[in-house]
Structure 1
Amino acid sequence: MIAERAAFVLLGLAALAACAPVATPPVPAGAVAPTVPGPLPLPARAEVTPVRLIIPAIGFDQAGLIPLALGSAGELRAPERFSDVGWYQDGPVPGDPGPAVLAAHVDSRSGPAPFYRLRELRSGDEVRVARSDGTDVVFRVDSVQRYPKNEFPTRAVYGPAPGSALRLITCGGSFDTAKRSYRDNVVVYASQRWD
């Protein structure tokens, strides 16, 4: 399927740039490094975008999602403003087949950012995404995982998924004061709910 091929990701995609890019795993001597460091863009489509994210279990409701792209090292670039939630614009739109990816900061020097309470989500919690075509898509949280940045699960996050899936990404774990970055990423895995 085109969506599955487009969603396929080579290993080594960095997690979330705002939380400091994850280095590509070392390449053994004599091996060839991949030439495409991240997800492949989807073919052109109608301009449907996610416009609002609602997560009732943590009291989250934010409109005005912004598009996100990949950085030069193949990492997903985080929103420039700590108050924004972004959507990986070259991936699936939430509600379309494949894993749609939304990312936001966990906090800043001035306090909590949009995904501050993301780690509190539990299996079964509801996540709603309103789209620019007037539809609402309801997802159910499957799991919440935390990974060291150098072990980011690129295939699990960006790889093919049955039906419509959603991935919410932020930083987590302890803060590395020397690098001014969190050591881990928190990933919420959710799938579309049909009831």
Structure 2
Amino acid sequence: MAGVVPGASRLLRAGLGAAAVGLLVMYNSVDTAPASAPEPVQAAPPAASAPAVPGAGPAAAAAAAPKATPAAPAAPVLKAAKPTRLRIPQIGVDAPFTELTLNPAGQLNAPPPDDKNLVGWYRGGASPGERGSAVVAGHVDTAKGPAVFLLLSLLLPGNKVEVSRADGTVAVFSVDSVETFAKSAFPDQKVYGKTPDSQLRLITCGGTYDKKRKDYLDNVVVFAHLESSHKA
């Protein structure tokens, strides 16, 4: 795990769209498998069941290729409201939210590693459905085995992501692309830059697992935009 990014804590607390958020997420890994944990699944053909893959595989390329802007106009943004549940039918995700905060070093805390079916939302940024890029992180695996974002890298453009919110609305996002980035070259502005509409970023770890660092070398990022909303 890398050290604190200078100035990042202040920028994070300052508000939405700060590129420094990317540095915090990629360095404070959302996957913290201890040495005693079962050996993580290594990258396999993505069409099978690999939770995350390097960007070189043909299936990964196919998933990332369609990066066109949404065909339909963006849905009207919603007012701020805490997310309560995340559903992604295509990969069997149905999980509650926890709020993610910063640790004393100014890094984004990961969701608790003892709960395999839990996702975290960075409460210092946009809420899902609000204008801006909402950040949701989850583990690909933990010491207890596969976790909530095991199959995140298998999502395809057009797949739907539903976020239930505390105000009684459900924000429905449409996947635009799925990309894998080396943590050492994470594109902060692309992932966390300001947006004129409501965007969602789903993040987990991927690629090769480094046994010495006890961390994955890459991040898998799902880019999605708000397509519609409705009452729960």
Q: Per the alignment, do residues 87 and 19 of structure 1 end up closer, same or farther by CA in structure 2, a change over 3 Å counting?
A: closer
Question: In structure 2, the residue corresponding to 1:156 is in which secondary structure?
Answer: helix
Alignment CA distance shift 1:142-1:15 (3 Å): same
Query: What amino acid is aligned across from residue 13 of structure 1 in structure 2?
Result: L
Matched, 1:14 2:24: yes
Q: Residues 73, 142 of structure 1: CA spacing in aligned structure 2 closer, same or farther, 3 A cutoff? A: farther
Instruction: Give the drift of 1:111.
Output: 1.1
Alpha-carbon deviations, 1:14-42, whole Å to 9, x = none? 32423479xxxxxxxxxxxxxxxxxxxxx
For residue 72 of structure 1, report the CA deviation from its aligned partner. 4.2
Matches within 5 A, 1:41-80: 48-63=81-96, 65-80=97-112
Question: Is the Cα contact below 8 Å between 1:86 and 1:104 reproduced in 2?
Answer: yes
SS at match of 2:25: coil
Which has the higher mean CA deviation after the structures are superposed, 5-14 or 90-99? 5-14
Q: Give the whole-Å Cα distance in 1 for the aligned partners of 2:223 and 2:211.
A: 29
Q: In structure 1, what is the equivalent of residue 228 of structure 2?
A: 194
Match of 2:73 in 1: none
SS for the counterpart of 1:7 is: coil
One-letter identity of the residue aligned with 1:192: L
1:194 deviates by: 3.3
Structure 1 residues 123 and 176, CA gap change in structure 2 (3 angstroms)? same
- Which residues in structure 2 correspond to 1:86-125 (within 5 Å)? 86-125=120-159
Matched-pair contact (CA < 8 Å) for 2:80–2:130: no
* Higher RCO, Cα 8 Å, sep 6+: 2
Q: Separation in 1 of the partners of 2:17 and 2:126? A: 11
Superposed CA offset, 1:130-152 (max 9, x none)? 00000000000000011111111
Instruction: Note if contact 2:17-2:132 (Cα within 8 Å) is conserved in structure 1.
Output: no
RMSD: 2.2
**TM superposition outliers: structure 1 runs of 4+ over 4 Å:** none
3-state SS of paired residue (1:194): strand
TM-score (norm. length: structure 2)? 0.66
How has the CA–CA distance of structure 1 residues 71 and 154 changed in structure 2, closer, same or farther, with 3 Å as cutoff? farther
Same amino acid, percent of matched pairs: 45
Q: 1:151 to 1:137 in 2, by over 3 A?
A: same
Task: Determine if contact 1:119/1:144 at 8 Å carries over to the other structure.
Answer: yes
Aligned equivalents of 2:151, 2:186: Cα separation in 1: 20
Change (3 A) 1:158 1:102: same
What one-letter code is carried by the residue in structure 2 that aligns with 1:134? Answer: G
**Aligned partner of 1:14: which letter?**
L
SS of the counterpart of 1:150? helix
Aligned length, in residue pairs: 166
Q: Is the Cα–Cα contact under 8 Å of residues 19 and 182 in structure 1 kept in the other structure? A: no
1:19–1:181 CA contact under 8 A, matched in 2: no
Cα distance in 2 for residues equivalent to 1:8 and 1:165: 11
| Helix, strand or coil at the partner of 1:157 | helix
How far apart are residue 70 of structure 1 and its match? 2.5
